[in-house]
Chain A
Amino acid sequence: MNPARRIALKFAAALAAGLAAPLRALAAWNKEAFQSKTAASALKELGVAASTESKDILIEAPQIAENGAVVPIEVTSNLPGTRSIALVIDKNPFPLTARFEFGEGAVPYVKVNVKLGESSFVRAVAEAGGRHYTAAREVKVTIGGCGG
C-alpha cells in the first residue's frame, strides 16, 4: 500500500472513531440527583452512601460574594486516584450543582462559576479508590448596591 493511501486510511479511521463515540456523558443527565431538594438525597441518588472529611480536597471560594449570581468555586483533589468531583450547594433549591468525571489525562481539578441563592456551605465530594471524601467552605452572599 502506498504511503499516501496508508495515511488517508489512518485519518479516515480516526475520524470514524471520533464520530462513533458520542459527544456526551456516558450516562444520561442524572435527573433524580439534580432534582433532589436536599444535599443528602442528591448524594444518595449519586450513590454516595457515606463520606469522610478530607483535607486533601481543597476548595477555593470567596468568603463573601457581592452577588450570588456568579460565585467562582475552584476544587482540587489531591486524593490519589480521584475519579470524580461533585459540587453541592447546601442551601440552593436543588443542591447538586455539578459532577465531573476525570478520565486518563485529566487532573482532578475544576473551576466553575456557580449561583448561590443565599449564604451557604459549598461542598465538594470526591470519589477515589471506591470511597467518597468531602470538604466544605462557607460562602456568604450579600445583596449589593442600589439595585442599579
Chain B
Amino acid sequence: MAEPMKIRATLKGDLAEVRVLMVHPMETGQRKDAEGRLVPAHFIQEVSVRLNGRSVLEGQISQAVSRNPVFSFRLKGVKAGDKLEIAWLDSKGERSQAEAAIA
C-alpha cells in the first residue's frame, strides 16, 4: 500500500485522541501460505510517539498484535497545531514514520 501509516488526532479541550493505522503483516511465524510453507515471522517490535519532538510514549509489541495494527493513545496538555510523530521499527530492522498536526 502507498502509505504505511495513517494518523488521526482530534482535540477535545487539551486532550488529544490519537488513532494510528499501520500497514504491516505482523506475521507470527506460525502461519502457512497457500503452498503450505511457513511464512517467516515479521512484525513491528517498537513504536514511539513524539509530541513536538519529545518522546511521550514508547511501546514494545509482539507478533500477537493484529495484522494492520490499529492503536489509540491519549495525550494531554495538547493544543491545535502541535506536531505528532509516530515511528515503528520491526523485526527485520525496517522502519516507518509518519507525522500529523493535532487538529
Contacts and interface: CB of A to CB of B under 8 A. Distances in A.
Contacts of A12: none
A114 B78 CA distance: 28
Interface in B17-67: 28, 30, 45-46, 48-51, 53-67
Interface of B: 15, 28, 30, 45-46, 48-51, 53-67, 69-78, 85, 87, 89, 95, 97
Contacts of B72: 74, 109-112
Interface of A: 14, 17-18, 21, 23-26, 29-30, 34, 69-72, 74, 89, 92-94, 96-107, 109-115
A100 B69 contact: no
B73 A69 contact: no
A107 B65 contact: no
The majority secondary structure among interface residues of chain B is strand
Given A17-B53, A29-B60, A112-B71, A105 B66 contact: no
A133 B73 CA distance: 20
A25 B49 CA distance: 10
